[in-house]
């Protein structure tokens, strides 16, 4: 059981950071898309 808890704690932090960074990239891509659409 202790091995599972260690594995979850080791894996959950990188997953959390990855989701945070993906969310930031998505927001920036939406802004770029809106700017490109307004140029048309």
Chain segment 7-39, per-residue pLDDT in tens: 888 888 889 999 999 999 999 999 999 999 999
| C-alpha dihedral sign at 18, 22, 24, 25 | positive
Which has more pLDDT, 6 or 27?
27
Q: What pLDDT score does 4 carry?
A: 82
Residue 27 main-chain phi, psi, to 5 deg: -65, -45
**Measuring CA to CA, how many Å separate 21 from each of 11, 15, 17, 24, 37?**
16, 10, 6, 5, 24
pTM for this entry: 0.63
5 band by pLDDT with thresholds 50, 70 and 90:
confident
């Amino acid at each position: 059981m202790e091995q599972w808890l260690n594995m979850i704690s080791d894996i959950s932090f990188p997953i959390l950071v990855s989701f945070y960074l993906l969310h930031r990239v998505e927001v920036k891509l939406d802004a770029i898309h809106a700017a490109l659409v307004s140029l048309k």
